[in-house]
Amino acid sequence: MCCKGANEKEAETSYSNRRVLEKYLKMTIRLSASCTRLVKFIAGALMKCWALSSAAVFACFFLYWVYGGLLAFLLLCFATTGILYHTEDQLLFHPDQPSHSRVFVPVPTMFGLPYENIYLRSMDGVMLHLFFIRQPAVFSAHVPTVLFLHGNAGNMGHRLQNVAGLYKHLRCNVLMLEYRGYGLSQGVPSEDGLSMDARAALNYLLSRNDINRSEIIVFGRSLGGAVAIDLASRPEYASKIWCLILENTFTSIPDMAAVLLGWRLLHYLPMFCYKNKFLSQSKIHHVEVASVLFVSGLADTLVPPRMMTDLHASCPSSQKQLLQFQSGGHNDTWTSPGYYRSLANFLKDSRLRRVPDGSAIPTDSPVTSTANTSITLSPSLPSTHSVPATLSPMRPPGPGPPNESSDSVSISMVSPLPGDKTC
């Protein structure tokens, strides 16, 4: 009996020791992964600005040699912070991914789409490049127009396959904006610069007489979602935007930095340490657009889907909906079954809920079937969905392009879609 009790006690002790060891191993692995991400982040920043980095290291070494370690350490911290601050643009914006993105921009005719090549000046004089893809002239003034804001990598031509789907399934015009410093647009990208570019593009749409200016949709994916939220949060544009569609975007750059590096302490870093902030979580409280659709891919491994849930919860819109796709990744949610049909149904409901002054019917009205709701679509749905003519909010009076029976647009001559590097 004594031997049996001793064996049981020894087994319990051994099990307890194994649990403690497993706990410490997991903590070590997490810490190691976080340190690796931090080192890669700092190394990337130093490589982006090697001349300034070399000067800072030399200055630190010189001060250490002359005055001692404390002053050199303080200068090293200051120099590192400065380098990261000034290289943040290079870490956030990737207009040269792939490497030919600043030279070769695929054009809509490669995808069978008619278009106008447009150049206009932003609010600070920077020349911007845009594509305006318009439905046939007979009914282009009777359909909605989408202002398309893309993510942080590549150029607008890399999104043409997705835009072809919007054009064919939603029966809409599309204005594609190339941010400053991207594609054939001039300038250097920055948070303020992208904001001015989006305003210039919307002002351009409002100046056209051949479209329905009462049905302008602002669509933003990833970084484009942050630009779209900034645009919609400005009081002067609240009544100019009919619908806002946000796809796989983030709450803020500080939040994304904490996610990518895995360091929660970054939440406590002062805001002045960030050159680009994109504070979408706080800005969305000021969005007065009546209809807002949040499209979230639950398989997104870059931007946590919870950020879309948080933005949806904070949005004060009278008609908002969170649409989730189980198999949707960060850059390919638009390929999910039912994607275009879901967007079309949301726009149909938005149109039905409108009152003569252009605003939406309050949520306590009888028409509340999809207001303030969350819908999750499973990948087990059929891969093709036929949208009846009577359900499409995009169908104008008169003849139009042939109806598509599938939500997916198959185009052979397509350039690889670059993945967003950070957001």
What average pLDDT does this structure show over 389-395? 35
Task: Decide if 410 is inside a domain.
Answer: no
Q: Per residue in 140-160, pLDDT tens?
A: 999 999 999 999 999 999 999
d(CA 185, CA 142): 30
Does 66 lie in the same domain as 131? no
Q: pLDDT above 70 covers what percent of the chain?
A: 61
DSSP state of 418: P
Report the relative pairing of strands 127-133 and 173-178 from DSSP bridges. antiparallel
Does 225 lie in the same domain as 156? yes
Task: Decide if 100 is inside a domain.
Answer: no
222 is catalytic: yes
| pLDDT of the residue at 282 | 96
Does 154 lie in the same domain as 28? no
Q: Per residue in 209-264, pLDDT tens?
A: 999 999 999 999 999 999 999 999 999 999 999 999 999 999 998 888 888 777 66
Does 30 lie in the same domain as 135? no
In the predicted model, is pLDDT for residue 5 greater than 60?
no
Does 235 lie in the same domain as 150? yes
Q: Which of 338, 357, 377 is the last residue of a domain?
A: 377
Task: Decide if 53 is inside a domain.
Answer: yes
300 is catalytic: yes
Does 277 lie in the same domain as 179? yes
What average pLDDT does this structure show over 193-206? 98
Does 36 lie in the same domain as 179? no
| pLDDT of the residue at 19 | 65
| pLDDT of the residue at 346 | 96
The answer to whether the CB of 198 falls within 8 A of the CB of 169 is no
Task: Decide if 17 is inside a domain.
Answer: no
3-state secondary structure 103-144: CCCCCHHHHCCCCEEEEEECCCCCEEEEEEECCCCCCHHHCC
The residue with greater pLDDT, 120 or 353, is 120
In the predicted model, is pLDDT for residue 6 greater than 60?
no
Q: Which of 36, 55, 86 is the last residue of a domain?
A: 86
Does 173 lie in the same domain as 66? no
Read off the CATH number of the domain in which 232 is found: 3.40.50.1820
Q: How many domains does the chain have?
A: 2
* Catalytic residue from among 330, 349, 392, 407: 330
Q: Per residue in 255-288, pLDDT tens?
A: 888 887 776 666 666 666 778 889 999 999 999 9
In the predicted model, is pLDDT for residue 381 greater than 70?
no
Does 286 lie in the same domain as 349? yes
**φ, ψ for residue 140, nearest 5 deg:** -65, -20
Task: Decide if 153 is inside a domain.
Answer: yes
Q: pLDDT above 90 covers what percent of the chain?
A: 52
Q: Which of 86, 116, 141 is the last residue of a domain?
A: 86
* Catalytic residue from among 53, 222, 317, 415: 222
* Catalytic residue from among 300, 349, 407, 420: 300
Both tokens of 121, joined, read 């000046």
Task: Label residue 111 by pLDDT band (50, 70, 90).
Answer: very high
Task: Decide if 219 is inside a domain.
Answer: yes
Q: Per residue in 9-35, pLDDT tens?
A: 555 556 565 665 566 666 655 556 556
| pLDDT of the residue at 296 | 97
Task: Decide if 392 is inside a domain.
Answer: no
| pLDDT of the residue at 401 | 37
| pLDDT of the residue at 92 | 85
Does 231 lie in the same domain as 82? no
The residue with greater pLDDT, 373 or 245, is 245
330 is catalytic: yes
Does 289 lie in the same domain as 195? yes
Range(s) of the domain holding residue 28: 22-86
Work out the mean pLDDT of the chain and round it to a whole number: 78
Does 201 lie in the same domain as 116? yes
| pLDDT of the residue at 389 | 30
Taken as a whole, the chain contains a residue count of 423
Task: Decide if 414 is inside a domain.
Answer: no
